[in-house]
Amino acid sequence: MSDKPLTDSTSDLPAVPGSNHLAAGSLSSPSSSLSMSPAYPLVEGGPPAYLSCPSEPRLAARLSRHLTLRRVLTGIFIAFTLAYLVLSIAQLGEHPPPPPPSGHPPPRHYPLGLPSDLRESNQRPTPEKLNATLLAPTSGENWDPSAVPLDFFVMSKCPDAVFCENYLYSIVQNLKPIVIPRFHYIATLEPSGVKCMHGPNECAGDIQQLCVAQQFGGHQAYDFVHCQNQTPHRIGLERLATQCAKETGLDYRKDIQPCVEANGTRLLKESAQLVKKIGVSTSCTMYVDHKFHCIYESGWQTCPGGHSEKDFTRAICKAYRGHSHNKPKACQGL
């Protein structure tokens, strides 16, 4: 290592023409302050021009505003989300889901209302097996072989039956020339007679509806049923039957009561036997043209043919065997 004292090395550096390098002698001594060459361009009150960046403060300000806006919007979104969750939880607490109708079994994962062998084996039915399940025309009913049978398997006071009967009523009215509604009643056969799930008034309602259907046909029976369904808690009462008979052009004392007293129990027993033979156990189960179509039990279930108004209309129009010019307007375009 040399003992020679350090000297100002810049003194040996030549000046570069046209450059902004420091000129020789600009540093007088190590302790002296830094001075600029007169040839070095200066910005008044600031650093040298080649070190200046006038746009940098503006970019920093814009970035700061952008970040602030994002934070504000994120905060608003989180606040609205939390408020929505709190309100949803509060509403669930105030309005819990309604329980299933009393006396009805909870919905099951396999289809009810199908032939007994399919239901008991818990198999999903094939169309071939369903199509093989035929329903004979009800004894005594006005039967038109060209009309499409629409069969309801119901309990007269069952909320599900009331819903599906009301749901299809306007469809049947629009297709009246080519469809015939028929009603079959789910009840328990006992040695002492017939027992209905919703009590004796349900048995009375079943019998009243069966008597109208047997004597005056499916459409007048449907009008009678639809009238009773407007006040379902009164179904089975003679006063409601009298009122609905009048609204459908009948006289209860003359047209319905004699059948109720003489043949009512027998008709209900025969209907319950038919339902048991087919293997239907769920109210409301619907068949179109002797084929299983749909179940309504606290909601639509197992509906291979669909459950919309258009689906029912299409199924009935497609199954009609009469002349095409007899089809109503509702069948057009399906």
Q: Kindly report, residue by residue over 265-309, the tens digit of the pLDDT.
A: 999 999 999 999 888 999 999 999 989 999 999 999 889 989 999
151: three-class secondary structure by DSSP: strand
| Interatomic CA distance for residues 291 and 181, integer angstroms | 14
Percent of the chain predicted with pLDDT > 90 = 48
| Interatomic CA distance for residues 96 and 244, integer angstroms | 36
Does position 326 have pLDDT exceeding 90, yes or no?
no
End-to-end CA separation in angstroms for the chain: 106
pLDDT at site 297: 93
pLDDT at site 312: 96
pLDDT at site 58: 67
Q: Average pLDDT of 156-171?
A: 96
Strands 285-288 and 148-154: antiparallel
Q: What predicted TM-score, i.e. pTM, was given to this entire model?
A: 0.60
pLDDT digits (tens, 9 = 90+) for 67-122: 788 888 888 889 888 888 887 776 665 555 454 444 444 333 323 334 443 344 33
**What is the number of alpha carbons within 13 Å of residue 230 lying toward its C-beta?**
11
Contact 142, 218 (CB under 8 A): yes
| Interatomic CA distance for residues 225 and 293, integer angstroms | 21
pLDDT at site 60: 67
Burial of 59 (0-12, 13-18, 19+ CB in 10 A): exposed
Nearest one of 318, 265, 285, 259 to 135, comparing CA atoms: 285
Look up residue 314 and give its amino acid. R
What is the residue-averaged pLDDT of the chain? Answer: 76
Q: Average pLDDT of 130-156?
A: 66
Look up residue 90 and give its amino acid. A
Ranges 3-12, 29-38, 133-142, 310-319, most confident: 310-319
226 φ/ψ angles, rounded to the nearest 5 degrees: -65, -35
Contact 297, 281 (CB under 8 A): no
Q: Within the chain, how many helices (H) and strands (E) appear?
A: 9, 7
Q: Average pLDDT of 139-147?
A: 60
263 φ/ψ angles, rounded to the nearest 5 degrees: -125, 0
Does position 124 have pLDDT exceeding 60, yes or no?
no
| Interatomic CA distance for residues 140 and 129, integer angstroms | 28
Cβ-defined contacts of 310-314 (< 8 Å, 24+): 310/334, 312/168, 312/171, 312/288, 313/171, 313/174, 313/175
Residues 296, 297, 299, 300, CA torsion sign: negative
